[in-house]
Amino acid sequence: MQRGFTLIEILIAMAIFTLIGLASTGLLTTVIDSNEISEERFAKLQLLQRAMITIERDIQQAVPRAARVNGEKQEVVLAGGEMDDSDDDGIGLVRGGWHNPQLMLPRSTLQPIVYRLRDNKLERLYSNYVDNVIGHEPKIRVLLEDIDSLKFEFVAPTDTTSNIVSNKEINWSESFKGTGLPRAVAIEFVSKDFGRIRREFTLVTDSSQ
């Protein structure tokens, strides 16, 4: 004589399978959420790495070339610190090494660069020409978002006592404006995602400056 399942046994089995299904769904949801968070974090890390590479290239390729401001000639080749157009510090310079194969493009290999903080965004301003016409508006590229503060520091070109390599006895100043390049430039900013980040760069300067 065959004996079937009782109603209680069926209900118990259904309850067990329901619990297993709920547990599996919860685990799958946790894995998916964790994966999305990891991908978002990795994407932000890539943006940070690209931004730091861009900043390093611009600063270390700085050249002692003054750019005209509103059509007027000036002698300052690099200026940094508090900036009117920035919510915090900023820096302006002219960089070399801007690739122009066989000078085929109607521009030089020099490029004016400005870094500033606007609305919690680290912006890079640039133009195709060092000496632009009056009224020219530079192009703006947002490197990083959710930046709470931006600071630049400088080592004067006349500071011969500073040991830049060992990072000892360095006399950092909060502003710089000169006809020659500083010996070193430091950038420090606070990111909502990565906290406080500081990088220091040495520059090749003319000892006669």
Instruction: Judge contact between 78 and 91, C-beta under 8 A.
Output: yes
pLDDT for res 28: 81
Q: Is 87 left (phi over 0), alpha (psi -120 to 50) or beta?
A: alpha
Q: How far apart are the first and last CA of the chain?
A: 107
Q: What is the Cα–Cα distance from 133 to 148, expressed in whole angstroms?
A: 33
Q: What is the Cα–Cα distance from 14 to 94, expressed in whole angstroms?
A: 73
Residue 168 bridge partners (DSSP): 163
> pTM of the full predicted structure?
0.77
Residue 185 bridge partners (DSSP): 154, 201
Going along the chain from its start, the domains and CATH numbers come out as: 1-209 (3.10.610.10)
Residue 123 bridge partners (DSSP): 116, 142
pLDDT for res 157: 86
Q: What is the Cα–Cα distance from 90 to 105, expressed in whole angstroms?
A: 29
Instruction: Judge contact between 96 and 63, C-beta under 8 A.
Output: yes
Q: What is the Cα–Cα distance from 164 to 186, expressed in whole angstroms?
A: 11
pLDDT for res 188: 97
pLDDT along the chain (209 residues), means of 10: 69 84 82 78 92 96 88 88 94 91 80 96 94 85 96 85 58 94 96 95 65
